[in-house]
Amino acid sequence: MKKIIIVGMDFSEGSEYALNYSVNIANKLNANILLVWVDKDRSSTSLSTNNRNPAEHEVKKRFEELIEKRKKNLTGGKFMYKIRSGKVHKEISNQAKYHDAYLVVTGTHGTSGFEEFWIGSSAYRIVTSAQCPVITLRYGESADRPLNKIILPIDSTRQTRQKTPFTMQLAKFFDAEITVLGLFSTMGTAVKMLVNGYIDQTAKYLEENDVRYSIERREAGNLTDTTIEFAREIDADLIAIMTEQETTTANLLLGPFAQQMVNHSPIPVLSVRPRNLYDHLVD
């Protein structure tokens, strides 16, 4: 059964950029792409074909035109689309759950002239509500850029290692190198030992799975700023995070680490939801 990648579409430049980005991933995975548009002004779960309105008619027309234009670029799968109604983040998350989606891709900003767009304001809500991993990205650099360098930040939280297996899968698909970035919010002995232990475990896991990797360490007053600064330094293509991370006094002034990353990173961000039961990286 083919993997499915879901793309949130509001027909803004930001969402079309997310679509282009998802095609690059889908071609590596031989996956299908499901485009989802949500009518946030209606409350039913899915728009009825017997109760069409002008907006739905316009959306279907745009989807058909978009798919016809882009289908030649999707080499290993096919495009599909779905029109839903309700709260944007809930409907996209529910669609991802229904299809057991491999990944959701969504933009964080969008500008165009069609209706009132929701992609920017809903991005972080999609990240926190979706059960599967989510990639968020800002409109900007070429969506065709190959995925060569992935940053895997490791902090002192127990959940920090849970993003490793999925990140490793992407790295293998693209033959990318992972940089394990140790982040120390304090240089206290206990925290240093904990983070270094997690780094060693992560490195061992990557080595056992034949993934190219390197290790860097940084003292971080603000995890987001330090991670983004390092990502720019090495010209990284993706930053992998958990949707919940440790906080410091500096972070609390701006909000949680994950929210800061999704809202402010100029580099695409892969967010992985923590699980209640720990994976095979556990001690």
**In this predicted model, what pLDDT tens digit does every residue of 1-53 receive, in sequence order?**
889 999 999 888 888 889 999 999 999 999 999 999 998 776 544 444 444 56
Shared domain check, 203 and 178: yes
- pLDDT averaged over the chain? 84
Q: Are 171 and 258 contained in the same domain?
A: yes
What's the number of domains the chain is made of? 2
Shared-domain flag, residues 29 and 65: yes
Q: Does residue 215 share a domain with residue 188?
A: yes
What are the tens digits of pLDDT across the range 216-260?
A: 999 988 889 999 999 999 999 999 999 865 444 444 333 477 888
Query: 234 and 268 in one domain?
Result: yes
Within a domain: 207: yes
Highest-confidence segment of 41-45, 52-56, 66-70: 66-70
Q: Average pLDDT in the 205-221 region?
A: 95
Q: What per-residue confidence (pLDDT) applies to 21?
A: 93
Instruction: Confirm whether 142 is domain-assigned.
Output: no
What pTM was computed for the model?
0.87
Is residue 9 located within the same domain as residue 133?
yes
Domain span at 84: 4-137
AA letter at 17:
Y
Which domain CATH number covers 62? 3.40.50.620
User: Is the model's pLDDT at 276 over the cut of 80?
Assistant: no
* Co-location of 156 and 252 in the same domain: yes
How high is the pLDDT of residue 70?
A: 92
Q: Has residue 283 been placed in a domain?
A: no
Cβ-based neighbours of 33, under 8 Å, separated by 6 or more: 4, 5, 6, 7, 19, 22, 23, 26, 74, 77, 78, 79, 80
